[in-house]
Structure formats: structure tokens, C-alpha cells
Amino acid sequence: MELELPVEPIVIRYGTDRFPRIPLHPNPQKAVEEALDNPIGGPSLDELIKRGGVKKVSISFDDPTRVSQVIQTALPIVIKRLKALGISKRDMILISANGAHNKWTRAELRNHIGSAVFDEFCPPDATFSRVVNHDCTQDLVNLGESKYGDVVEYNKVLVETDLHIHCGTITPLAYGGYSGQGIVVGLMGIGAANSHHGAHVFMHPDACHGDPDPAKNIYRRHKLACHEKIEEATKNRIFYVDCIAVIGEGVVEAFAGYVPELEKVEYPRADRYFKVKVRPADVLILGTPPRITYDSLDNPLVLSAYLLYPLRLARDRALLKKDGVIIAPVKCKGVFSEKRPGDPKAYELLGKYYDVEDLWFENIDAFWANTEYLFKYRYEYAYAPWHCLWGATNPLRLKTLVREVILFGEIKPGIARYMGFTPAKSWKEAWKLACDIVGPDPQVTVLPAFWAEPRPVFVPE
């Protein structure tokens, strides 16, 4: 879409001087091998297994919402090394760490982890698959409470196997700055989801920015506390194989080892690649695609989540002033898919609450107890009930971070108003409305292809 602007904007695109292309590793397999040989924070896999006592191994991996190139690079190497150390295929199990995302079909998992690994652990004629989806409502174990009172409820493989390995991706993430510690969310149960992933934590103002420093981010503190409790309760440290990656392109660097030592190396390295310096704008113009990971943007709750996302990648309010305005061309007709069965109810509840936490705590138990939502989650590849109510918290939190959100394009005006946003008939009207709020000659930042390119971490100039 071409837009005429009467001011000179800052346009942020990947592959420009402001956000240079990130060099991919010329030999990612070698990078993973070297990382396994030089783990950070503790013993290597070779040392662990040669000590004795490791008979059964579980390996989780970031689900298909993350970078498949990372999993297809790291997972075969980890499996090969375990076999060389005497661990047989029948004593390994592979788990898609879905968190509260939908489960994945066999075809989707095969595409994600690669056909060679999938067919080995889940042959076409097999009656039992060794590649499984995590289910946040079943097959769980309660490991106690974290030092912050979080319920530490997780997939039971953490106590039924002697060693757990996670293959993960380090990329910019709206919650906690960067992804990492993949089991804390990926293998969580209902109790953990209600705790460290409850609205009082992940929608807290101190979590609504892109800084991974636990001293500055309440969500990161809770994640690390849960991780610490998991290892204390199981008496086993989780072994991570992480790759800094560019979405859609591939591996940049590989690391292996243990949390929290590992992230103290990974995150500063990731900062070298993903940090983009900006000045807080008066107006942010954000391009939106018709569909992203969670669903079509015809779903107004999903739309609001992705309007909020770039603000949560900004440290110290680097991207937009608090009294600033977002303008977005959108296509949103108010359509809810079967993949998110709880969203229509969550959308209805949105109109009844002023506060994020009131909305959350007064309804989350009822969502988890809804038998229709649970059935669709367990057996029909829908999102978990938690994830649907989460959608309704996004427009409420977004409105606390900006002065106004103006939407134009293919949208029903009532949908925008219901979420607390302002509809405009055209780009010209949207621009005029924004200038009426922020004044003439505003400073403008444009993210025209934010969802089609690697995403940056915004930091102040």
C-alpha cells in the first residue's frame, strides 16, 4: 500500500543501514557440534552420560511457531550424539514444547523437525509414536512452588526420564526480550500457565518491554524462578541447545549448556544482531498481514495482540511516546475460527471489564473448565482455553501504552470502537485524526513489513 506523508518518516526495514542483514553461520551443523563440545555452565552430554545413571532421555523442541531451520539443524545432531554415547532410540522421546498453543498434526511436526528424524521416531506403520505433542492439561506433575509462589506444574517426562534436553531458538520475543528457557513455557501445565503466564505477570507494566534483564522484567524473574524450582525438584539440570536465528533464513550462532549461565552469553550476543536504534515517535504506522501465527487478523483479539507486539519489543519506550498514536491498515471483519474456540466468549467479556487483571482472574477458571474448549484443544488441534482468554487482555493493555489506535481499511467500525480503538474511513482521515491528537509535523516511524521480515529489538538512540 502506498501512503503519502507530508513529513519525512523513519522507515525501518531489514537489510538497510538502520537494520543491517544478519550474517548466517556458514556451517550451522559445525556450530552445533562445537557448542555441544563446549557447554556453558556445566558438564557436556558426554560427561553426563559417561558418569552413569542416564538411561532414558527426553528431548523437547520449540514448536512450529518458531524457526524450523534451528530444530532441523540441532535435533539430528543431538540424537546422533546420544546414540554414540549408548542411548538407544527406544529410550528417547521427542516432545513438541507447545505451551498453550495448539497441538500439531503429524504432517506439521514432520515438516518442522525434518522427515528423517520424524520417520525414524514415528514410522508410517507405527502404532506408537515417539514424537508427541505436549498437552498443558494432561500428564503433568506438580513440583511445588517457586520462590515467588508460582505453581510449578510441568510435563511428567521431567521426572520420568533421567536427562532432559531442549532444542530452542533465540529470537526477539515480545515477552521477556528474547526467547529461551524453552521448557518453562513449552512444557507448562495449567498451574504454571496461571502463575508465571498469568495476566498479573506477563501483562504487568514491568513486563511490557523488550528487556531480558530479570532485574527489569518481572516476567523474566518468574521464568527463572520456575526453572530453578524444576531443577531443584527433579535433581537434574536441563541441558539446552540454543541457536540464535533469523526467522525464515537460518542459524546465526549456536550455544549449549545450562540456565541461567547460558542466557548471560546468548542475550548480549543476540543484542549485537537485533538491536535497532530509534527515537520515540509521535505516530507509529504499522503494516499488518492478513494472517499471522495465531490466526487470521479477521479475529479482532489476534489483531490487537499483533498491534501490541512491536511496542513490547521496545526497551525504555524507544519506539513510541506514551501519548503517541498507532495507525494501521487492517483487514478485520470480526471472524473467529474453530482453531480458537474460546475467542468469541473472550471478546464478549472484553466489553465488561476496565482492568486486565479483573478480566483474567474472574474468568480463567471457567475457561479451563469449559468441556467444549478442552475437547477441541485435546483432540481437534485448537488452542488451549488459556490462550483464548489471553487474547482479550491485549486490547486492554495496548490502550495503556498509547494515546490512541486508529484503524482503517477493511474493518467494521464497530469492531474498532468495541476494542477501544478509533476507526477511520481512509488513510487521509486516519492521518488527520492522528495530527489532531499529536499536533502538526509529528515525528513518524513506519514499520511497513514488520511481520514479513526479521523483527528487531528497538532501543533508544
Residue 409 belongs to domain spanning? 280-442
Question: Is residue 291 in some structural domain?
Answer: yes
Whether residue 355 is found in the same domain as residue 217: no
Same domain, 125 and 257: yes
Q: Is residue 12 part of a domain?
A: no
pLDDT value of residue 44: 97
Within-domain flag for 8: no
- The CATH code of the domain that includes 381 is 3.90.226.30
Q: According to the model, what pLDDT value does residue 124 have?
A: 86
Q: Are residues 208 and 284 in the same domain?
A: no
Please check whether residue 458 lies inside any domain of the structure: no
DSSP at 170:
E
Q: Are 115 and 237 members of one domain?
A: yes
Co-location of 148 and 79 in the same domain:
yes
Rounded to the nearest 10 degrees, what angle do helices 343-350 and 300-312 cross at? Answer: 70
Do residues 342 and 356 share a domain? Answer: yes
Q: Is 296 found in the same domain as 255? A: no
Are 245 and 138 within one domain? Answer: yes
Q: What is the pLDDT of residue 293?
A: 81
Please count the other Cβ atoms lying within 10 Å of the Cβ belonging to residue 323: 11
In a domain, 434, yes or no: yes
Q: 292 and 144, same structural domain? A: no
User: Is there a cis peptide before residue 260, judged by omega within 30 degrees of 0?
Assistant: yes
Report the CATH number at residue 263: 3.40.50.11440
Label the pairing between strands 239-246 and 457-460: unpaired
- Residue 1's pLDDT is what? 86
In angstroms, the Cα distances linking 338 to 78, 109, 373, 375, 393 are: 36, 20, 10, 12, 20
CA dist., res. 265 & res. 41, Å (int): 10
Per-residue CA distances from 52 to 45, 46, 165, 166, 247 (Å): 11, 10, 17, 20, 38
Structurally, the chain folds into a number of domains equal to: 2
The pLDDT profile of the chain, 461 residues, written as one tens digit per residue, is 899 999 999 999 999 999 999 999 999 999 999 999 999 999 999 999 999 889 999 999 999 988 889 999 999 999 999 999 999 999 999 999 999 999 999 999 999 999 999 999 999 887 789 999 999 999 999 999 999 999 999 999 999 999 999 999 999 988 888 998 899 999 999 999 999 999 999 999 888 887 899 999 999 999 999 999 999 999 999 999 999 999 889 999 999 999 999 999 999 999 999 999 999 999 999 999 888 888 899 999 999 999 999 999 999 999 999 999 999 999 999 999 999 999 999 999 999 999 999 999 999 999 999 999 999 999 999 999 999 999 999 999 999 999 999 999 999 999 999 999 999 999 999 999 999 999 999 999 999 999 999 999 999 99
User: Is residue 290 situated within a structural domain?
Assistant: yes
Residue 192's identity, in one-letter code, is A
Contact 27, 252 (CB under 8 A): no
Q: Is 379 exposed, middle or buried (0-12, 13-18, 19+ CB in 10 A)?
A: exposed
Is residue 451 in a domain?
A: no
> Model-level pTM?
0.95
347 in the same domain as 291: yes
323 and 264 both lie in a single domain: no
C-alpha to C-alpha distance for 307 and 394, rounded to whole angstroms:
9
Asked which of 208, 241, 274 is the last residue of a domain, the reply is 274
Give CA–CA dist 142/158, Å, rounded: 11
Give the domain-ending residue among 274, 309, 343.
274
Question: In this structure, are 42 and 110 located in the same domain?
Answer: yes
Angle subtended at Cα 265 by Cα 264 and Cα 266, rounded to the nearest 5 degrees: 100
